[in-house]
Chain A
Amino acid sequence: MKTPYLIFGTLVCITLFIANRSGWSLGHALSTGNWNPKGRSVFHK
């Protein structure tokens, strides 16, 4: 139980770091339904 939790928690920390560095926002993804910041609701006018 200790080892899986260590692996899981480490993955969470790495994911948080990458998400923050790339500007990805969970709140934005939840509110817009768009989970890919690169493909967000962008269109040309």
Chain B
Amino acid sequence: MAGETAPKAKVFNCPLCGSTVQIRVPGDTISVVCTSCKSVIDARDENHRILSEAASRLNVPQVIPLGQRGRIRGQLWEVIGFMTRMDVESYFVWSEYLLYNPMRGYRWLTEADGHWNYVLPLKDPPKNPKGESVLHMGRTYRLYHNGRATVQYVVGEFYWLVFVGETVATRDLICPPEMLSIEKSKTEITYSIGEYLSPDEVREGFKITTPMPVAIGVAPNQPDLLAGRVKELLKIWGLFLIAIMMIQFLSIVITGEKEVYSGGYSYDRTDPVKTKTSPSFELTGGETGVKIGLHAPVLNHWFESQMDLVNETTGDVDELELGVEYYEGRDDEGLWSEGSRYTSAILPAVPDGKYHLNLEGSSSMPDILYSITVKRGAIPMSNFLMALFLISIFPLLLIWRQKRFEMARWSQSDFSPYHVHKDEE
């Protein structure tokens, strides 16, 4: 290894099948598995005693072959062992590569559903590793999985006595991009921290040219690369919200909504003169909106009026129809009411000039008095609401995507915060 003394490998023939067996770390290796017959050999025994014979000689394909060297996080490692393990309850299978560097010791590279983890043994275990939440080095790890893992397949050399069927109790807790794993056997408890690696980091680090396993779903400790962007975008959204509120407020203040006409009228179904004409009024202050309001004291009836806003200079006419209806009564639940006696509408960008209104009413009542108000400089709320909607789209989409990502992360966990536990239903 570059700058690091490579261990002198020990080579011998498998006492069972005669194949060449290599021990890359002679001092530390306790057991070595023959790559041909899968027998477990005692690495410390001078006669290479067979510890156990494999039930099957089938090869499980490895993404990284034994003896392959590669860099992870800038450090050079050599693959000396490979095993697949299975969760006893869910039958979920994953791969583990034992890495060795003479200066740094052992690490693991694990692959599950195409997601990779770089695993370091933990020398200082958490003080209180029980419970659904564990604090370690200032980070809070949440329980993701409780189970039992059994070795399904193994080749290469290991620093403990390994065998197919070796089973340990496991607890996995996550704090993306890290996973705290606790494994408990009959004799010991081991702690390790896994750090999520992208498949590209593994492929480039080990110069892998064969196809990599396709990453499926979201890994338990996979970092959400857009999570930080959500907070950033929400800050900008807050600034935009203040900006559009200021614009709306200033528009109202600068334009200065003011009443230019107000008048009362009578509607009589028998009146031969259907159209009423208002007195003339002036619209000034520039081409802004005109708000026309209608009030009629209806009760369990409706009233509506067709209105023409006529520019007396140019003859231009703006047509508008406004209607009110108001109902009230009493039922089993008490008094109820619906509708309103007042309504209004805004005509946009009406030029300055002299105007009058032509009004033609109709009603479910035979006669009624109603009033009309005309205000210059009306600023509609609809523009503000649309602006609010537009500036909120991106943050809302990101928040929705973030939640979907987290739900996908926890979908394989019995401890998901997004699940309703059966005893709570």
Contacts and interface: CB of A to CB of B under 8 A. Distances in A.
A41 B391 contact: no
Interface in B364-406: 379-387, 390-391, 394
B287 A23 contact: yes
B287 A12 contact: no
Interface stretch (B72-80, B152-160, B240-248): B240-248
B112 to A, nearest CB: 30
Given A2-B236, A15-B387, A16-B384, A23 B251 contact: no
B289 A21 contact: no
B247 A17 contact: yes
Contacts of B287: 22-23
Interface residues of B, number: 42
Nearest to B309: A42
B248 A12 contact: no
Contact of B348 (A8, A13, A23): A23
Nearest to A2: B232
B229 A20 contact: no
Nearest to A9: B240
B383 A16 contact: yes
B233 A5 contact: yes
A16 to B, nearest CB: 4
Contact of A5 (B226, B288, B394): B394
Contacts of B314: 44
Interface in A2-45: 2, 5-6, 8-9, 12-13, 15-17, 19-30, 37-38, 40-45
B310 A45 contact: yes
Q: Range of interface residues on chain A?
A: 20 to 34
A20 B308 CA distance: 23
Nearest to A31: B345
Nearest to A26: B382
B317 A42 contact: yes
B244 A12 contact: yes
A24 B346 contact: no
B240 A25 contact: no
Interface centre among A8, A16, A42 (most CB of B within 10 A): A16
A28 B236 contact: no
A22 B206 CA distance: 64
Nearest to B235: A2
B349 A22 contact: yes
Contacts of B380: 20, 25-28
Contact of B382 (A2, A23, A25): A25
B394 A20 contact: no
B315 interface: yes
B51 interface: no
Interface in B348-362: 348-350
B232 A27 contact: no
A38 to B, nearest CB: 7
B200 to A, nearest CB: 21
B166 interface: no
Contact of A13 (B237, B243, B382): B243
Nearest to B318: A42
Nearest to A20: B251
Given A13-B244, A24-B348, A43-B317, A19 B229 contact: no
A43 to B, nearest CB: 6
Given A6-B236, A25-B348, A45-B310, A12 B382 contact: no
B93 interface: no
26 contacts: A2-B232, A2-B233, A9-B240, A9-B391, A12-B244, A12-B390, A12-B391, A13-B244, A16-B244, A16-B387, A19-B383, A20-B248, A20-B380, A20-B383, A25-B382, A26-B382, A26-B386, A27-B381, A27-B382, A28-B380, A37-B349, A40-B348, A42-B318, A43-B316, A44-B316, A44-B317
Given A21-B251, A26-B383, 15 more contacts: A1-B229, A2-B233, A2-B236, A5-B233, A9-B236, A12-B387, A13-B244, A15-B387, A17-B251, A23-B350, A25-B346, A26-B386, A27-B382, A28-B347, A41-B318
Interface of A: 1-2, 5-6, 8-9, 12-13, 15-17, 19-30, 37-38, 40-45
Closest 9 CB pairs of A and B: A27-B382, A37-B349, A23-B349, A20-B251, A25-B380, A23-B288, A25-B348, A26-B382, A9-B240
